């Protein structure tokens, strides 16, 4: 409508070459009339309420008489149409819509014209454009493998049970036996401890841990190692990072201003703690969608909703259209990320039209959006409600007190000053370096233009300071002065301490804001008012209203709409909601991180276009066990890590490679490259400089000025951040500034947090090698590593090389490797000595060893773990 009016006005001044607007006098129902009815009338006269028996969302009722007997619409006769009377009514009591801005003159004239022209309301007023029928979700749609309810599966029989250690292995082996492919035997202990340490903690095992595990021949040693690692607090730092990818978590807004989010890290900490504490995944999901509606007194639950705030955002524009665009982009992100992260479905495709492949009607998209329409980002006090209330009460009392003592002080001071002002001013004038005539002018005719100019010129010298007054006051007044000021200071000092706040989501009010079905995703084209709903294809016999009714009853009253809680209840409901798919998707994500590929390789697409699972029965068995065992991720890890398929070695041969080149049947282990964060953490750990401080505000790592390639208008990234112990923490705690990505992270394929990322790409490109060759941070760590080796040895090159290999790749060098390394040290020292004969011998040795350490960082074996 706005668009039309705007062009219309322009045409009045400037006859456009092509009149894009329609003739103003011919009203088109769909284009001109329905938007007015939808936006201004349907809330009370529509599908939800039919006040006075009037309904404007459907043709058949719109022309019926109302309860009063009057007709809202009389085709051809606006004067007899109650609609026109009511929107034009001068008396606010009669006017529609009530308690709201009246319709504009243009809107009324559109309605009037339309009725006059016969009030044509097309018979086939299908919601979809071009007469398309709205998608209906069928029983057949529900048959897609991932949409079905969970069912119990038996592990199959195998011909060679000797290889199997767990039920998982029977599923794997059965498929391999079918193809006559033999799986690999277990890897050696050194390989296993390295594999487990990187897999579970993202840190290299210390040489003594490797030695102890290698020497421990007890059969239970492996399981004990798994337990020890799962108990480590570094487990959450490793696995929390996987989830942060999915949650597109970052520490700044993105877009133009890219303002910092200094209190966003509470969400990151919540995730790490949830993994460490083995919080049930069901609760993990519920809190991220609606922690405030489940446990309003639990700081962790409140911080969890940071999941919904993690998207890009921008400070609101002055232009309404831009504000709406931004808000709808945010709402889209919340709904699409929720469904893709938790259910592995591409909901976003249904924003403008019914999903082309999956059974997701656009209506489902907007009904899910209802859960988020009323939300707002907020800096939430991370404390129980009563304490938050107490704090707010204290804060407001304190504000009052402060205001009181400040005005008391100001009033008193003003009173004391008054009698002295004239005299002090005269004294100031007398002291000015000007002639007597000018002094007289300033004293006697201060309001003349000349005097004012002169005063401006000597503004500073004429100013009477508080000290000037204090000097002329009496002792008693000075005592009072000090006492009053002391009172102000003491009130200021008593400021109640604010509990920590977190960037999180709240509902602005308990009544839902309206959510509309939009025409082709256009937020200016509202079609129909909706109430909360979910994915029909995943909903059983329990209607969405039912979830909402219960959520409203259970949630804390008066604070929010409980719609997110309804969504979360449905999401985690295994019997009537999306719980089965929720379980399959997370089990598959966990499998992917253990093996490099998911059982379903399209980890965020379980729809009909996604890949089928390589082992469907295994996925089902795991999901079933997972749910039956209380949604515990650590239990799932234990199951998987105990299997023969997990511990097998990486041996390959041509025959088996040919039969299954992609290793889809998992007949061997494949070496996997460490992720960007883990490369950095490992380099720090190996060099002995890793700062293990957990949690808290993110640190800003030094980024070379030339790599700060974006301009952001708020909180620019510091160009002078230093490489200090404080910035040598684990990378999961690194500040992720959205428009200034850390170069090492970018080079090694870390996601940029613009959208949910379920599977990182893994590229091999020259900039990675350039970083290892030349990056100052990595070179500095190589130098630290060399110092460490020197400090721990007795300057014997061999006693440096051997522990160097032990620390970097968890094994001693082979004879050939040792010899090559020693030769390298010798020739580097020689070359360096030749170039710089004056350099002290230990400096030369340090540099040569640094050159070796840097080369160890570059080894394939360093960065690829078997």
Site for another protein in 284-313 (CB under 8 A): 312
Q: 41: which DSSP letter?
A: T
Q: Are 750 and 701 in contact (CB under 8 A)?
A: no
Rounded Cα–Cα distance for residues 841 and 696 (Å):
43
Rounded Cα–Cα distance for residues 648 and 154 (Å):
23
Pairing of strands 864-865, 672-673: antiparallel
CB of 843 to another protein, least distance (A): 10
CB of 41 to another protein, least distance (A): 25
Name the segment binding another protein (CB under 8 A); options: 234-242, 558-566, 580-588, 812-820.
Answer: 812-820
CB of 16 to another protein, least distance (A): 5
CB of 609 to another protein, least distance (A): 3
Question: What contacts 267, CB < 8 A, 6 or more positions away?
Answer: 247, 249, 303, 304, 305, 306, 307, 309, 310, 502, 503, 504
Single out the residue of 717, 833, 701 nearest to residue 778, CA to CA.
Answer: 701
- Cβ distance to another protein smaller for residue 564 or 669: 669
Chain CA centroid to CA 511, Å: 26
Question: What contacts 575, CB < 8 A, 6 or more positions away?
Answer: 149, 540
- Cβ distance to another protein smaller for residue 318 or 553: 318
366-425 residues in contact with another protein (CB under 8 A) are none
Answer for which of 136, 774, 795, 826 binds another protein (CB under 8 A) is 774
Name the segment binding another protein (CB under 8 A); options: 119-127, 237-245, 486-494, 761-769.
Answer: 761-769
Q: Does 708 participate in binding another protein (rule CB under 8 A)?
A: yes
Q: Are 334 and 527 in contact (CB under 8 A)?
A: no
- Cβ distance to another protein smaller for residue 115 or 708: 708
Element (H, E) at 501: strand 501-507
Element (H, E) at 524: strand 522-530
Pairing of strands 501-507, 522-530: unpaired
843-862 residues in contact with another protein (CB under 8 A) are 847, 850-852, 854-855, 858-861
Q: Does 768 participate in binding another protein (rule CB under 8 A)?
A: yes
Q: Does 838 participate in binding another protein (rule CB under 8 A)?
A: no
Rounded Cα–Cα distance for residues 204 and 857 (Å):
13
235-264 residues in contact with another protein (CB under 8 A) are 254-256, 258
Q: Does 766 participate in binding another protein (rule CB under 8 A)?
A: yes
CB of 777 to another protein, least distance (A): 10
Tokens of 634: 């650590």
Answer for which of 165, 523, 824, 833 binds another protein (CB under 8 A) is 824
Answer for which of 272, 828, 829, 865 binds another protein (CB under 8 A) is 828
Answer for which of 26, 31, 77, 356 binds another protein (CB under 8 A) is 356
Name the segment binding another protein (CB under 8 A); options: 110-118, 445-453, 467-475, 751-759.
Answer: 751-759
Answer for which of 607, 613, 797, 804 binds another protein (CB under 8 A) is 607
- Cβ distance to another protein smaller for residue 112 or 737: 737
Burial-class residue 409 by CB neighbours within 10 Å (0-12, 13-18, 19+).
middle
- Cβ distance to another protein smaller for residue 796 or 860: 860
648-687 residues in contact with another protein (CB under 8 A) are 650, 652-653, 657, 661-662, 670-671, 673
699 phi and psi angles, rounded to 5 deg: -95, 145
How many other β-carbons are positioned within 10 Å of the β-carbon of residue 271? Answer: 29
Written as one string, the DSSP assignment of 331-397 is HHHHHHHHHHHHH---GGGGTTSS-SSSS--HHHHHHHHHHHHTEEEEEEE-S-HHHHHHHHHHHHH
CB of 465 to another protein, least distance (A): 38
Rounded Cα–Cα distance for residues 812 and 799 (Å):
11
Q: Are 747 and 768 in contact (CB under 8 A)?
A: yes
Q: Does 817 participate in binding another protein (rule CB under 8 A)?
A: yes
CB of 810 to another protein, least distance (A): 13
Q: Does 104 participate in binding another protein (rule CB under 8 A)?
A: no
Answer for which of 95, 632, 779, 787 binds another protein (CB under 8 A) is 779
Placement of tokens 């002329």 in the chain: 472
- Cβ distance to another protein smaller for residue 215 or 319: 319
Name the segment binding another protein (CB under 8 A); options: 56-64, 425-433, 559-567, 830-838.
Answer: 830-838
Q: CA-CA distances (angstroms) from residue 191 to 102, 671, 682?
A: 75, 11, 16
- Cβ distance to another protein smaller for residue 202 or 743: 743
Q: Does 602 participate in binding another protein (rule CB under 8 A)?
A: yes
318-347 residues in contact with another protein (CB under 8 A) are 318-322, 325, 329, 340, 346
CB of 741 to another protein, least distance (A): 6
CB of 864 to another protein, least distance (A): 7
Name the segment binding another protein (CB under 8 A); options: 32-40, 484-492, 708-716, 785-793.
Answer: 708-716
CB of 246 to another protein, least distance (A): 13
| Total interface residues for another protein by CB under 8 A | 110
Q: Does 120 participate in binding another protein (rule CB under 8 A)?
A: no
- Per the DSSP assignment, residues forming a β-bridge with 50 are 45
- Cβ distance to another protein smaller for residue 18 or 796: 18
- Cβ distance to another protein smaller for residue 460 or 835: 835
Q: Does 764 participate in binding another protein (rule CB under 8 A)?
A: yes
202-231 residues in contact with another protein (CB under 8 A) are none
Placement of tokens 């020739």 in the chain: 827
CB of 2 to another protein, least distance (A): 8
6-25 residues in contact with another protein (CB under 8 A) are 6-7, 9-10, 13-18, 20
Answer for which of 304, 537, 821, 849 binds another protein (CB under 8 A) is 821
CB of 673 to another protein, least distance (A): 7
CB of 790 to another protein, least distance (A): 16
Q: Are 89 and 95 in contact (CB under 8 A)?
A: yes
20-49 residues in contact with another protein (CB under 8 A) are 20
Rounded Cα–Cα distance for residues 683 and 479 (Å):
64
Q: Are 853 and 683 in contact (CB under 8 A)?
A: no
Written as one string, the DSSP assignment of 194-254 is HHHHHHHTSSPPPHHHHHHHHH---TTHHHHHHHHHHHSTHHHHHHHHHHHHHTT--SB--
Answer for which of 136, 628, 769, 841 binds another protein (CB under 8 A) is 769
Answer for which of 611, 693, 798, 842 binds another protein (CB under 8 A) is 611
Rounded Cα–Cα distance for residues 777 and 791 (Å):
21
Which three-class secondary structure state does DSSP give residue 516? strand
Q: CA-CA distances (angstroms) from residue 611 to 606, 638, 658, 689, 762?
A: 7, 26, 22, 43, 20
Tokens of 503: 């960037």
- Cβ distance to another protein smaller for residue 115 or 336: 336
CB of 490 to another protein, least distance (A): 45
How many other β-carbons are positioned within 10 Å of the β-carbon of residue 335? Answer: 26
724-743 residues in contact with another protein (CB under 8 A) are 738-741, 743
CB of 228 to another protein, least distance (A): 28
Pairing of strands 501-507, 375-381: antiparallel
- Cβ distance to another protein smaller for residue 250 or 574: 250
Name the segment binding another protein (CB under 8 A); options: 222-230, 471-479, 557-565, 819-827.
Answer: 819-827
Element (H, E) at 805: helix 797-809
């Amino acid at each position: 409508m706005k668009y039309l009016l705007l062009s219309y006005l322009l045409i009045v001044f400037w006859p456009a070459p092509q009149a894009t607007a329609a003739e103003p006098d011919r009203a088109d129902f769909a284009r001109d009339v329905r938007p007015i009815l939808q936006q201004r009338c349907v809330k009370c006269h529509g599908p939800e309420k039919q006040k006075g028996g009037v309904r404007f969302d459907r043709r058949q009722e719109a022309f019926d008489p109302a309860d009063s007997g009057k007709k809202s619409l009389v085709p051809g006769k606006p004067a007899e149409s109650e609609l026109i009377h009511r929107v034009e009514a001068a008396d606010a009591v009669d006017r529609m819509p009530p308690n709201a801005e009246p319709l504009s003159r243009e809107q009324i004239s559109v309605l009037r014209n339309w009725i006059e022209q016969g009030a044509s309301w097309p018979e086939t007023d299908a919601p979809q454009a071009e007469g398309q029928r709205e998608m209906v979700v069928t029983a057949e749609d529900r048959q897609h493998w991932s949409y079905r309810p969970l069912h119990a599966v038996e592990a199959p029989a195998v011909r060679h049970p000797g290889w199997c250690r767990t039920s998982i292995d029977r599923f794997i082996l059965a498929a391999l036996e079918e193809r006559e492919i033999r799986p690999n035997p277990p890897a050696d202990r050194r390989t296993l401890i390295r594999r487990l340490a990187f897999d579970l903690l993202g840190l290299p095992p210390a040489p003594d841990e490797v030695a102890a595990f290698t020497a421990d021949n007890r059969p239970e040693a492996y399981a004990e190692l798994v337990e020890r690692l799962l108990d480590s607090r570094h487990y959450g730092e490793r696995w929390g990072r996987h989830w942060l990818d999915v949650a597109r978590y970052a520490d700044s807004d993105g877009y133009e201003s890219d303002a910092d989010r200094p209190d966003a890290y509470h969400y990151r900490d919540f995730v790490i703690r949830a993994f460490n504490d083995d919080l049930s995944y069901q609760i993990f999901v519920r809190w991220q969608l609606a922690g405030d509606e489940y446990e309003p007194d639990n700081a962790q639950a409140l911080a969890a909703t940071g999941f919904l705030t993690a998207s890009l955002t921008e400070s609101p524009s002055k232009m309404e259209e831009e504000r709406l665009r931004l808000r709808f982009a945010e709402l889209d992100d919340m709904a699409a990320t929720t469904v893709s992260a938790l259910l592995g479905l591409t909901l976003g495709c249904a924003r403008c039209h019914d999903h082309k492949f999956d059974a997701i009607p656009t209506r489902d998209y907007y009904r899910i959006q209802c859960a988020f329409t009323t939300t707002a980002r907020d800096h939430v006090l991370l404390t129980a409600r009563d304490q938050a209330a107490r704090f707010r009460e204290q804060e407001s009392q304190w504000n009052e007190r402060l205001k009181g003592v400040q005005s008391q002080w100001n009033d008193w001071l003003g009173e004391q000053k008054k009698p002295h002002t004239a005299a002090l001013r005269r004294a100031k004038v007398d002291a000015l370096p000007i002639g007597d005539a000018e002094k007289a002018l300033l004293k006697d005719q201060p309001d003349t233009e000349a005097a004012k100019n002169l005063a401006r010129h000597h503004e500073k010298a004429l100013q009477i300071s508080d000290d000037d007054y204090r000097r002329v006051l009496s002792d008693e007044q000075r005592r009072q002065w000090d006492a009053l000021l002391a009172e102000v200071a003491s009130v200021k000092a008593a400021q109640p301490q604010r509990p920590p706040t977190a960037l999180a989501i709240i509902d602005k009010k308990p009544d839902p804001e309206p959510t509309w079905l939009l025409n082709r995703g256009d937020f200016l084209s509202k079609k129909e008012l909706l109430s909360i709903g979910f994915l029909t294809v995943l909903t059983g016999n329990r209607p969405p209203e039912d979830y909402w009714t219960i959520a409203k009853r259970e949630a804390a009253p008066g604070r929010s709409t409980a719609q997110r809680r309804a969504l979360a209840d449905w999401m985690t409901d295994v019997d009537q909601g999306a719980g089965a798919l929720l379980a399959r998707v997370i089990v598959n994500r966990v499998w992917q991180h253990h093996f490099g590929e998911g059982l379903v390789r399209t980890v965020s697409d379980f729809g009909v276009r996604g890949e089928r699972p390589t082992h469907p029965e295994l996925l089902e068995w795991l999901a079933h066990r997972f749910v039956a065992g209380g949604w515990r991720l650590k239990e799932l890890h234990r199951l998987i890590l105990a299997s023969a398929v997990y511990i097998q070695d990486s041996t390959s041969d041509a025959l088996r490679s040919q039969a299954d080149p992609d290793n889809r049947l998992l007949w061997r282990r494949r070496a996997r490259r460490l992720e960007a964060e883990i490369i950095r953490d490992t380099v720090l750990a190996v060099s002995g400089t890793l700062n293990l401080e957990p949690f808290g505000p993110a640190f800003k790592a030094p980024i070379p000025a030339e790599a700060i390639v974006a301009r952001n208008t708020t909180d620019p990234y510091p160009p002078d951040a230093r490489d200090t112990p404080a910035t040598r923490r684990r990378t999961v705690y690194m500040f992720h500034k959205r428009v200034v990505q850390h170069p090492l992270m970018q080079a090694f394929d870390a996601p940029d947090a613009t959208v949910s990322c379920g599977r990182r790409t893994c590229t091999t490109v020259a900039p990675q090698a350039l970083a290892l060759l030349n990056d100052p941070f990595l070179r500095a760590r190589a130098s630290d590593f060399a110092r460490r080796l020197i400090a721990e040895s007795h300057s014997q090159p061999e006693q440096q090389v051997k522990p160097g290999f032990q620390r970097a790749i968890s094994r001693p060098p082979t004879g050939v490797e040792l010899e090559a390394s020693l030769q390298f040290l010798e020739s580097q020292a020689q070359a360096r000595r030749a170039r710089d004969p004056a350099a002290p011998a230990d400096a030369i040795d340090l540099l040569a060893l640094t050159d070796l350490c840097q080369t160890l960082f570059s080894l394939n074996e360093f960065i690829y773990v078997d």
